[in-house]
Amino acid sequence: MAGQRIATRAGACAAVAVLAVAGGTVARADDGFEALPAEQIADRSRDALLDVSSVHLRARGDLGKGRSPMTVDLTLDRNGNCAGGVDLGKDKGSVKIVKRGDSVWLKPDADFWENQVPVGGSAFEAILAGRYMRGSASDSRLRPVVEACDLDTFRELVSDNAGSDAGTYSKGKVTTVDGVRTVPVTRTLNEQKLTAYVDTGGTHYPVRITVRGDGADAAVDFSGFDEPVPTATPPADETVDVSAVLGRGPSQS
């Protein structure tokens, strides 16, 4: 069903960011931050990210294993609100996403309907006529989007990956990323290298995380820490109920 495909692909894109976050759990030290061992810098960076109430993330690239490069651009918070979009890359389509409270809006473009829903996609596109689909957060067809929009889901996945001390850590020279002074720390595991560029001042957020090797080539930029998610939602005359597009089937969880 088209709604499930939209939701699943959006959730998969957001997972690029989740899978990119890792770090061991080690004791803190009182030394100057830049002088800390790589493991401790990674630990502080992860903890800072887990503490935020909202964040803007932009994930782009692919994690290998035959996955196509794609981009996620989302601002999300711990109340389950989010705004942004997903671009599947190479003219495969994109979807704008807004979630506020119990309402979810999705706006696939023409390329999405043509490439992701080859059977029936043109009919769905005609019904929408450039408008958003609107549904409830409790609609099972939209569950992956709802989960991807919730910062608590993101935090849980980061925490689940935080206990592993596998691989080796190294620290690079201080460098500037988007005007922020950062220290890069790299975790190498098998043939893959994950590098976090950590803000050296104030709260030690990861400004960028990259994943390279073993077929992967992805990056995640973080910004807008603790800044509110935009509150604007599509007006009623620019929306169509999801059931009018996908039909009335089992939709409640």
Q: What is the pLDDT at residue 118?
A: 82
Q: Could you give the CA distance from residue 165 to residue 25 in angstroms, rounded to a whole number?
A: 7
Q: Which residues contact 66 (CB under 8 A, 6 or more apart)?
A: none
Band of residue 16 on the pLDDT scale cut at 50, 70, 90: very low
Query: Averaged over 4-9, what is the pLDDT?
Result: 49
Domains and CATH numbers, the chain: 2-233 (2.50.20.20)
Average pLDDT value over all residues in the chain: 81
More confident residue, 125 or 7: 125
Q: Could you give the CA distance from residue 52 to residue 233 in angstroms, rounded to a whole number?
A: 23
Q: How many degrees, rounded to 5, is the angle at CA 93 between CA 195 and CA 192?
A: 20
Band of residue 27 on the pLDDT scale cut at 50, 70, 90: very low
Q: What is the pLDDT at residue 20?
A: 41
Start-to-end CA distance of the chain, whole Å, equals 16
Q: How is residue 115 written in tokens?
A: 């490439």
Q: What is the pLDDT at residue 63?
A: 63
Query: Averaged over 208-236, what is the pLDDT?
Result: 91
Contact 120, 2 (CB under 8 A): yes
Q: What is the pLDDT at residue 214?
A: 78
Pairing of strands 132-136, 239-241: parallel
Q: What is the pLDDT at residue 174?
A: 95
Query: Averaged over 234-241, what is the pLDDT?
Result: 95
Q: What is the pLDDT at residue 48?
A: 92
Q: Could you give the CA distance from residue 214 to residue 188 in angstroms, rounded to a whole number?
A: 11
Q: Could you give the CA distance from residue 68 to residue 61 in angstroms, rounded to a whole number?
A: 8
Query: Averaged over 77-87, what is the pLDDT?
Result: 92
> What is the per-residue pLDDT across 28-64, written as a single tens digit (0 to 9) for each?
444 589 999 999 998 899 889 889 999 999 988 876 6
Q: Which amino acid is at 132?
A: Y
Band of residue 224 on the pLDDT scale cut at 50, 70, 90: very high
- Per mean pLDDT, which range of 91-105, 128-142, 157-171 is the poorest? 157-171
Q: What is the pLDDT at residue 159?
A: 64
Residues in the chain: 253
> What is the per-residue pLDDT across 108-151, written as a single tens digit (0 to 9) for each?
899 988 888 888 888 888 989 999 999 998 988 888 788 778 88
